[in-house]
Structure 1
Amino acid sequence: MTSIPGIPAAAQSTRLAHLDAHTYRDWAVGEHSTVLLPAGAFEQHGPHLPLGTDAILSTAIAEAVGSRIGAKVAEPLSYGYKSQQKSGGGDHLPGTVSLDAAALIGQARCIMAGFLAQGIRNLVVLNGHYENYQFLYEAADLALADAGAGHGHGPQPTVLLLSYWDYVTEGTLATVYPDGFPGWGIEHGGVLETSLMLHLRPELVALDRAVSHPPAALPRFDRLPVVASRTPDTGCLSAPDGSDERKGALLFEQVTAELSGDVATELGLPG
């Protein structure tokens, strides 16, 4: 980020946690004040990726978007809704520590309502954990009600909710998966997340521990309790075969550019 003369470095950061309270107070009541709230999970991603992968990726993307559109980034929601067997391997696997629906909704609602009550005009919830989505939606709806949105006169606050993978284009998928995209349902600990981590936080990736195996073959229904043997022993639903930093750079640049443009256009921000 380019330094702006005369403004403390902390105030130029995209991270709200780096700001002092008075700088935040003055910024929050601005016409275009926008906070990006990353959401992830504490979830196993096989033997080669860290437990914090979802929050790490959503936060990095939020910071890149924030620097493009003049938004600030809140501290991430680092625990998410229960990992499900068909999208995250399952809540039964060691290393995964989850919130139930009420806890996630309550935490996210309090955070969103707090920002809205302090004058933040726009909130953008940037999700990085598939299972979170509908509970973040509920939290946003309740937080807007808490803020009295839709009542009274004058500008009204806005919340946008999105998952970063929805911005991956068909062209990018064709490059990242030259042998064909296996589908989002089994992209857990696979090529997309591994490549992004190799680009953004390579020191946290143990590619020598990655295991090649067929994608998970899961039924079209959910069974509770889960049949643990249906999840591959690695905890990954597809193998990270073919992952590399170049693919991660392509994914990161393409997603952040399109996401920034979409958000800036929707909210009338510079982008």
Structure 2
Amino acid sequence: MKMNKQDMTLQWLVNIGFVIVSLIALFPILSLLLSSFRPSSELMRNGISLTVDFSTLNIKNYQYIFTEAGNYWTWYGNSLILSVITVVLSLFFSSMVGYALALYDFKGRNVLFMLVLFILMVPFEILMLPLYQLMINVQLINTYAAVLLPAIVAPIAVFFFRQYALGLPKELMDAARIDGSTEYGIFFKIMLPLMTPSLAAMAILQGLGSWNNFLWPLIVLRSNDMFTLPIGLATLLTPYGNNYDVLIAGSVMTIVPIILLFIFFQRYFVEGLTVGGVKG
């Protein structure tokens, strides 16, 4: 069916609006990218902006990161490894918990779900002190286990997977049981593949949260060589000197894993969010 002139005009206005919003969203990234090629003296003089002297642009900041900033790549590797482990473990355990809360009828199920919602509503700043005391008691301070354990079963992920699993057909479970499949076989071979869109969407959200996590690793980590990237970049700003040029170039490099993560999972991202949000 052909669109009339009024509908075409409205469609054009909507597209223009989306383009404007996109440009506004990309403005900070573009400013950061241009500033990463500027020398420190110009950054101190003019700050981060789109107004730059192109004759002063160079790649010295990136050369320094790739050749001399040894700690930077240590921090980068720490963040990358922790983010991958966090995403894998969080998806594995949170999907199992959400699936069980959605499709199994057992005593106390509603109470457990209410507890998940309650924890979801509690700000992390309130949980920080008891979590820190717990890590001291189990002697996990300055270990990666202290960073990982609080994030393995995320309340938001459990809630998300539970809502998504409510829309899965229970008939498949009954048919699999008749064929002699175990409950674990039903989950891993039948139900989990059906949850792929929700897994992809949550992988992006959990990966982004873990990659940008600053406060909790700052509290439990002590050694410089164990710092994650956000903490390491923060150490470049000190009362004795501020390496803004290296900081900005290093910040640009931190965007790369998130972009790659979204590229790999973008096909399922919108589907996972919309379906998981309306089912049940």
Category of TM-score, reference length = shorter chain: under 0.3
With the length of structure 2 as denominator, give the TM-score of the two structures.
0.25
- Which of the pair is proportionally richer in strand? 1
With the length of structure 1 as denominator, give the TM-score of the two structures.
0.25
CA radius of gyration, larger in: 2
Higher relative contact order (CA 8 A, sep 6+): 2
- Which of the pair is proportionally richer in helix? 2
